[in-house]
Amino acid sequence: MIPLKRRKVVPSAAGNTGSEETLPNKFPQVVLFLLERKMGASRRDFLSQLAGKKGFQVEELFSEQVTHVISENNSGDEVTSWLESEAAGRGRVSAHLLDVSWFTESMRAGHPVQILERHQLQQIKEVEVSPFSAPSYACQRRTGLENHNTALTDALSLLAESAELRGEDGRGVAFRRAAAVLKALPEPVTDAAQLAGLPCLGGHSLRVIKDVLENGASAEVRATERSERFKALKVLTGIFGVGVKTAERWIREGIHSLQQLQESGRELNRAQRAGLQHYEDLNQPVTRPQADTVAAIVEEAVASVLPGAQVTMIGGFRRGKPTGHDVDFLITHAEEGREVGLMPKVVSRLESQGFLLYQKTTRNSYLEAEDGPARPSSNMDRFERCFSVFKLPDEAGAGGPNPWRAVRVDLVVSPIGQFAFALLGWTGSKLFERELRRWAGHEKSMSLSSHALFDNAQSRYLKASSEEEIFAHLGLEYIPPSERNA
């Protein structure tokens, strides 16, 4: 028999138990794992919750940290062979293999009772566990475009989308974080046991992952895809200018499809009319060559109204994505102040050339509303943004029936003093940005926006003229755009 190894035990905040509230871990030397085999999922959930309430740490997945494996109606051999198949990989682990009687007696006592012979299925078992590890913020990880776990991340992303379409943003972010962790793994996951110790994988995400690994697909994902409500929300919010609130109202009024919307005679605003009119084009991915054609048009327009102004392609294309849902540009001028009033001039130039099917220029209320304390008050008003739909000539003559297609284009103008922040803030991915701001706030007591970085401890703004400097201010290793595809 191999002696039980001494091990460091991380307090239960480590996250594998999901978001359910539990008491702080009262018994740090004890980490429980309940075997579902023969016990059943609902009894296992019930017992896990009970243990959590009593202050025990319960792991959702078997891992190196587990000290006590609890099973019901299993022989020692059965548990051993289960552990061996479940925990295939590298690393070593040893744990007590115990009957549920030890568990129920401990729950009754309110503390782990002494292990007696009648509790033991087998003394100690050494098995192997997996090697994956990842830091918990996406902005601490490198995430290229290569994804070795698309079946898993597609499933989680679809559930994230569905949660967002239901207005459950917290749940949506949890699924997005879980997907992002899997995207960053260097190899395909073949067994859920390999995920032990990874951050951001809550109980719900793990259930989905196990379902996909064991059955090739997630039942919840299938049910969601088949749901009439999800399908209708997707179609309707797929119209440029239509958000979740509007789509929900229409669905309540019996409108589930584009045809029903058209027949209903609903009043549409200008954006929605353009969105409906160009629905097919705008739901067709924009290719890199098409993005380059847009860039040439924008650069020409900008140069003609403000020589020397600089145009940078941002968003997904800057991260190296081969396609996008739109094309994003950031415009600035090396001389602070010269960029003021630029957007309307660029827009009228593009309009006169016949490139705009739709445009709306705003003074960036999104950023004013969202960015909280890091608002450099006087510079704010200068930030201008234009949402537009371009009429893009089909230069390559791709052979299709249409001489042009509609493309969504976003333009942002920033003063040079905020350029690095704007560049970082608009390159994405959305999750990467969210995680940067969360890191800044939670770990550094700083507020990051697309305009500035404010250090709350020093009560001052930290200047930066490059993205590298901003990462350095934040105490983060520099991650280049191509590795921000979280």
Residues with catalytic roles: 326, 328, 410
Interactions with ligand CTP, residue window 66-125 (CB under 6 A): none
Task: Rank residues 64 and 384 by Cβ distance to ligand CTP and give the closer one.
Answer: 384
Q: Which of 112, 197, 241, 316 binds ligand CTP (CB under 6 A)?
A: 316
Look-up: residue for tokens 């509609």? 406
- Residue 105 binds Mn ion, judged by CB under 5 A: no
Q: Which of 324, 376, 415, 481 binds ligand CTP (CB under 6 A)?
A: 324
Task: Rank residues 86 and 433 by Cβ distance to ligand CTP and give the closer one.
Answer: 433
- Residue 171 binds ligand CTP, judged by CB under 6 A: no
- Residue 326 binds Mn ion, judged by CB under 5 A: yes
Q: Which of 59, 248, 328, 339 binds ligand CTP (CB under 6 A)?
A: 328
Q: Which of 366, 396, 465, 466 binds ligand CTP (CB under 6 A)?
A: 366
Question: Which entry of Mn ion, ligand CTP, none binds 86, CB below 5 to 8 A by partner kind?
Answer: none
Task: Rank residues 94 and 450 by Cβ distance to ligand CTP and give the closer one.
Answer: 450
Q: Which of 321, 333, 391, 405 binds ligand CTP (CB under 6 A)?
A: 321
Taking each continuous run of H as one helix and of E as one strand, the counts in the chain are: 20, 15
Q: Which residues does residue 125 pair with via DSSP β-bridges, in sequence order?
A: 95
C-beta of 89: minimal distance to ligand CTP in Å? 34
Task: Rank residues 112 and 428 by Cβ distance to ligand CTP and give the closer one.
Answer: 428
Of 221, 230, 231, the closest CA to residue 166 belongs to 230
C-alpha atoms less than 13 angstroms from C-alpha of 115 in its C-beta half-sphere:
16
C-beta of 61: minimal distance to ligand CTP in Å? 32
- Residue 326 binds ligand CTP, judged by CB under 6 A: yes
Q: Evaluate whether 87 touches 62 at the Cβ level (below 8 Å).
A: yes
What is d(CA 481, CA 201) in angstroms, rounded to the nearest whole number? 25
50 conformational bin, left if phi > 0, alpha if psi -120 to 50, beta if neither:
alpha
Interactions with ligand CTP, residue window 239-268 (CB under 6 A): none
Q: Evaluate whether 257 touches 242 at the Cβ level (below 8 Å).
A: no
244: buried, middle or exposed (CB in 10 Å: 19+, 13-18, 0-12)? middle
Q: Evaluate whether 86 touches 191 at the Cβ level (below 8 Å).
A: yes
Question: Which entry of Mn ion, ligand CTP, none binds 321, CB below 5 to 8 A by partner kind?
Answer: ligand CTP
Of 89, 6, 100, the closest CA to residue 46 belongs to 100
Task: Tell me, by CB under 6 A, how many residues bind ligand CTP.
Answer: 16
Task: Rank residues 326 and 339 by Cβ distance to ligand CTP and give the closer one.
Answer: 326
Q: Evaluate whether 461 touches 410 at the Cβ level (below 8 Å).
A: no
What letter does residue 19 receive in the DSSP assignment?
S
Question: Which entry of Mn ion, ligand CTP, none binds 430, CB below 5 to 8 A by partner kind?
Answer: ligand CTP
Of 67, 91, 196, 64, the closest CA to residue 133 belongs to 196
- Residue 315 binds ligand CTP, judged by CB under 6 A: yes
- Residue 315 binds Mn ion, judged by CB under 5 A: yes
Sequence-ordered list of residues with C-beta below 8 angstroms from that of 385, at least 6 positions apart, any chain: 343, 361, 362, 363, 364, 366, 410, 411, 412, 413
C-beta of 315: minimal distance to Mn ion in Å? 3
445 conformational bin, left if phi > 0, alpha if psi -120 to 50, beta if neither:
left
What is d(CA 302, CA 343) in angstroms, rounded to the nearest whole number? 9
C-beta of 280: minimal distance to ligand CTP in Å? 17
C-beta of 270: minimal distance to ligand CTP in Å? 18
Which residues form the interface with Mn ion (CB under 5 A)? 315-316, 324, 326, 328, 410
Residues that bind ligand CTP (CB under 6 A): 315-316, 321, 324-326, 328, 366, 410, 425-430, 433
